[in-house]
Chain A
Amino acid sequence: MDLKHYPRRHYEIDQFTQPHCTELKGSKFYFVMDDGRDFELNFTGEDTLEWNWAGEKPKKARYQCLKGDDTTYMVDYELEEFINTFNRVNHFFIIDLEQRLVTRAICTIGDNPKFPYLVRNEYTFGAIDMEGMELPFKRHSFTTDLLGTRVEWHWNTSMITRHMYYTSHFYRITFPGAETLINRDDSNMFMRLPSTDEVAQYIKIKDKMYLFSLTEELMERAFHKDNPPYRSNDMKFLQNYDRMYHVGRTFGNILDPKTNKVVPCHILFGAFGNPVVLPESFENAPNPYTT
């Protein structure tokens, strides 16, 4: 049998996802956070945990976990009390056991009164309290290190995207053979946008390890009345530039093309990378949101 025809389900960005990691089962963490709101995570099972703000009663959640390298974990879960509501809330962490540091993002849907699907991100950095060890002074932090990087990501057996990180608040995306996307048309929602720039954040975890985060915000702002296919997904990529792959998760809403209804989206993803040269016309095109 040609295993190309194995009856696999249809994959988009989730085919090359590394398997969920259960190594943290049995671990407890106390995060000393820079905003003064310390946080505790207790990994009670292979996919269950208890979380709480310091001094408060623990709540249960089901988590997902992927590893960026041997000692760096990406963990996220949705708050159970909001799962079947419009106003979903996601807690996201990068737990860096090598440096004893943590990045926390609280991601909320429904916060924006005009664009309720938009996901709001609130980042806080901190350190992991470990008995007998001094708290590190160093922190994960927003960075410009990634600016100048052009990278091609392979998501599944046929889907490839090309990213250009060129300014602290935006990134630009294209696809092989389609760099002419700067010439806009009406063929789909991506092409109807004035450009493929999107709002982004860049956080340094450590050398060659970065958290790249984007929220599909501009499509929602531009086309929310037309019920576009992507309703503001928040995508977080833990990028390993030593090995040239990333793991990540997306949290938000998408349009189900079968029912034409907006449905929750919360999946893990992953991709393998390589360097890429992009056409000058693409790289030098102005960002219409800032010029």
Chain B
Amino acid sequence: MFNHYFDQDGVYIKNLSNTGDHYGIGQYRFPHNYELVGKQFTIYDGDEKHHLNFLRKDYMELDGKGREFESLKLEATTYFVRLGFDVAVVDLDQGLITLIQKDKYFYGKIEGQYVDGAEHKDAGDEMVGTGVAWVLGCGRYVKHEYFEEGKCRVSWAPIDEAKNEHLCKATKIKGPLFLVDIKGWVPYNTCAPILTERVIMLQDYDHMMTVGCVMGGGMTPIMISGYARFLDEENLVRIPGGAVISLDSEE
């Protein structure tokens, strides 16, 4: 009720801002992107090859088999694509596609577009030490603390103290772009669906935005987008003109 306003006579004053309850953690999902429609890619690494053919706005074929798909664009030439229950990160700038089928990662080079020397690769310990809250909707966020290579401490709003250490696979896409794949359960009474088993996010540490997908057995995959706040700066606000104020400060 808190965003409903009434005048002194009890007349309801309209307020369009809302918490997007019906979307849950998918609230801030960016508009679908259709730039890949009509394109097809053959990707290879050694002898292994795959073929991706984006036929319509919501339908593509992977190795000749039909899939529904959703594509979100995070950066000028980088797309996060959910292919049914699999995921691809399409990086047209470097001519690379990382294809995740169940647990198998395939770092593919696009035939005819691959840029020599470019690679998507395991991020090693590059993310260790990073603490960030990804805000996916109004009051809905997930906190990530990358405290050790291959592990991430995770909590979901609103229960910040319910932290769990999950296995995490991080892939460096390029520069500030990382693909993070976290497997693990979520506590009851948080903003994430209780069936959540896996969260795959493409994170941009320049623009501090993310797109991704939340998946689990028995649930429809949820596409997500959001913005970041650093864990040690959650109470700092900068106002236009440059002044920084702390919301904790009495003054």
Q: Which residues of A contact B (CB under 8 A)?
A: 1-4, 6, 8, 11-13, 15-23, 67-70, 72, 145-152, 154, 156-161, 175-178, 187-190, 208, 210, 229, 241-245, 272-277
**Shortest 3 CB-CB contacts between residues of A and residues of B:** A275-B3, A2-B129, A67-B31
B247's contact among A23, A176, A210, A229, by CB below 8 Å, is which? A176
Given contacts A19-B74, A19-B76, contact A241 B239 (CB under 8 A): no
Question: Which A residues lie within 8 Å of B240 (CB)?
Answer: 12-13, 159, 161, 175, 190
Given contacts A23-B34, A154-B227, A159-B237, contact A276 B17 (CB under 8 A): yes
| Assembly CA distance A147 to B7 (angstroms) | 13
Among listed B110-118, B150-158, B159-167, B203-211, interface-contacting one: B203-211
Question: Which B residues lie within 8 Å of A15 (CB)?
Answer: 207-208
B28 touches A244 (CB 8 A): yes
B5's contact among A145, A148, A242, by CB below 8 Å, is which? A148
Question: Which A residues lie within 8 Å of B23 (CB)?
Answer: 243
| Assembly CA distance A6 to B243 (angstroms) | 22
B229 touches A277 (CB 8 A): no
B31 touches A69 (CB 8 A): yes
Question: Which B residues lie within 8 Å of A189 (CB)?
Answer: 241
Question: Which A residues lie within 8 Å of B244 (CB)?
Answer: 158
- CB contact list, B14-58 vs A, under 8 A: 14-20, 23, 27-35
- CB contact list, B43-97 vs A, under 8 A: 73-76
Given contacts A19-B74, A22-B35, A157-B229, contact A273 B130 (CB under 8 A): no
B16 touches A16 (CB 8 A): no
| Assembly CA distance A277 to B23 (angstroms) | 22
Interface secondary structure of A, over-half rule: loop
Interface secondary structure of B, over-half rule: loop
B73's contact among A12, A21, A161, A229, by CB below 8 Å, is which? A21
B138 touches A244 (CB 8 A): yes
Given contacts A158-B237, A274-B19, contact A147 B14 (CB under 8 A): yes
- CB contact list, B220-251 vs A, under 8 A: 226-230, 232-233, 236-241, 243-247, 249
CB distance from B71 to the nearest CB of A (A): 11
Question: Which A residues lie within 8 Å of B227 (CB)?
Answer: 16, 154, 157, 272
A149 touches B176 (CB 8 A): no
| Assembly CA distance A147 to B16 (angstroms) | 9
Check: B195 CB closer than 8 A to any chain A CB: no
| Assembly CA distance A277 to B35 (angstroms) | 39
Question: Which B residues lie within 8 Å of A23 (CB)?
Answer: 33-35
A70 touches B31 (CB 8 A): yes
| Assembly CA distance A19 to B75 (angstroms) | 5
Given contacts A8-B206, A151-B17, A161-B240, contact A2 B76 (CB under 8 A): no
**CB nearest to B36 among chain A residues:** A23
B16 touches A274 (CB 8 A): no
Given contacts A22-B35, A272-B28, contact A3 B176 (CB under 8 A): yes
A3 touches B135 (CB 8 A): no
| Assembly CA distance A144 to B229 (angstroms) | 34
B17 touches A157 (CB 8 A): no
**CB nearest to B38 among chain A residues:** A26
A19 touches B73 (CB 8 A): yes
16 contacts between A and B (CB under 8 A): A1-B130, A2-B130, A2-B131, A6-B205, A12-B240, A18-B30, A19-B73, A156-B208, A158-B238, A177-B245, A177-B249, A243-B28, A244-B137, A275-B3, A275-B19, A277-B3
Check: B139 CB closer than 8 A to any chain A CB: yes
Given contacts A68-B31, A70-B31, A243-B27, contact A277 B139 (CB under 8 A): no
Check: B179 CB closer than 8 A to any chain A CB: no
Knowing that A148-B14, A157-B208 touch, tell me 14 more A-B residue pairs with CB under 8 angstroms: A3-B126, A3-B176, A6-B206, A8-B176, A18-B31, A148-B13, A149-B14, A151-B16, A158-B237, A159-B240, A175-B239, A177-B246, A178-B239, A242-B20
Given contacts A175-B239, A244-B138, contact A275 B17 (CB under 8 A): yes
B130's contact among A4, A8, A160, A177, by CB below 8 Å, is which? A4
Question: Which B residues lie within 8 Å of A2 (CB)?
Answer: 129-131
Check: B200 CB closer than 8 A to any chain A CB: no
| Assembly CA distance A189 to B242 (angstroms) | 12
CB distance from A268 to the nearest CB of B (A): 12
| Assembly CA distance A145 to B17 (angstroms) | 12
| Assembly CA distance A150 to B14 (angstroms) | 10
A150 touches B20 (CB 8 A): no
